[in-house]
Chains A and B, each alone.
Chain A
């Protein structure tokens, strides 16, 4: 687009002469200034949306009950953590591991309860009754859960390959969280439902639409990309109240993702790990497979299946053969151990380089927990 504007600016006027040329130069300078102003107003490079008939207007509130009391009565039993949290006041230094920034299940429960409480209160102020959602119990987030590295699971590979055929047959696993607002939403008129969801999540039109751009927050993502949301939705308001005005930049936003992304990139480039990865490739080649990375074959096989080049049975047969060799080579060169060691080295470097930042992130975490406790104490009154 900028090139197109430059083309417009550089054509035409150059063919004029004498006094007119000077005026054209002034005109071009003025246009350039206007252009700079315009670019300064819209600095984002997001994909722009299609023009829509809908124009964002203040939400038309459906007539609703006096909201606060309704929401809180429901919130308390469903989402309240059992006990007051243990304090972390004795732990004032920077974290020894990135994982030290993770919250305990009790802390997550507290944050979720408070967030839902704030959402319900916000929705109530806008004339909607919102039933807070109970927190799920994700086993993968349970304390002591040890992540399974399936890249070295030879037994599973021999029976299920990469798990592609099974996954295709089983489909996705359901999200276990119950939507407590589903029933009341189903009873609403279409207009009422749209107004409810707009109050909760923001307008349905693109955050990149010029008509709503002023209401949108955005932040860059690790590895490129961008996240964005409506700042005046009840969900965004609740997060901001809980996690602070700088939510998007703190560890509950994307800071930890950036650090983890950096850690993984450093581990990818670790010389020891690369040496063992080369040994894995050699092992695969000796057994007739030319692969670049463990488990990468799964992507190719799935693509062949979706392109109709493989039947499900053929996919199953091929994935078992490939995955078995893949995992056997993986274990024979102990690529899992090499990766762990590389990530540990990368983490040590990152921790040393980001001590101040990590300390600030830890403080932000503790501040959010303090706010959450205050929210829930207020709800009790």
Chain B
């Protein structure tokens, strides 16, 4: 009887430890891979672990090889929110990225525009 209880406890403990070890698994993300550059929005491509940065407005991310490629974004800007757009020239669906926030939005972004307005323009 005592042995059975002991086995049970050991099993629960072992499985619990397994769960704990899963939760502690390290996976690369924007914050572990890409250093902050204050004033920029940083982004990460999960597939290659490559980091990119924008500190200005970009109407077409194809021009610097990041169209529909970045997966995770963090706004480390000091002055403005950054609008991320599905299409070039601020077209399609947009995501408003206020300072100090991050998004996971995979393989979508094609243009960006910084703003101090409370929403994103729909063309630029």
Contact = CB atoms under 8 A, between A and B. Distances in A.
Contacts, number: 250
Contact of B63 (A38, A174, A256, A302): A302
Given A226-B103, A252-B118, A140 B8 contact: no
Interface string A3-20: 011001100110000011
A295 B60 CA distance: 11
Contact of A229 (B4, B38, B98, B123): B98
A226 B73 CA distance: 10
Contacts of B78: 133, 179, 181-182, 185, 200
B46 A225 contact: no
Interface string B17-60: 01100111111111110001011000000100000001111111
Contacts of A147: 121-123
Interface string A206-235: 111110000000000111111111100101
A216 to B, nearest CB: 10
Contacts of B117: 103, 108, 112, 135, 138, 141
Nearest to B6: A23
Given A201-B76, A235-B99, A23 B23 contact: no
23 contacts: A24-B11, A46-B104, A48-B29, A112-B116, A141-B121, A164-B63, A167-B63, A168-B63, A174-B55, A179-B39, A182-B39, A207-B31, A223-B105, A224-B105, A225-B95, A225-B104, A225-B105, A228-B103, A236-B100, A253-B96, A257-B93, A295-B88, A302-B67
Interface of A: 1, 4-5, 8-9, 12-13, 19-20, 23-24, 26-28, 30-31, 34-35, 38, 42, 46-52, 102-103, 108, 111-112, 133, 135-136, 138, 140-141, 145, 147-150, 162-164, 167-168, 171-175, 177-179, 181-182, 185, 197, 200-202, 204-210, 221-230, 233, 235-236, 239, 252-254, 256-257, 260-261, 264, 295, 298-299, 301-303, 306
Closest 7 CB pairs of A and B: A147-B123, A201-B100, A206-B31, A302-B62, A50-B32, A172-B56, A167-B63
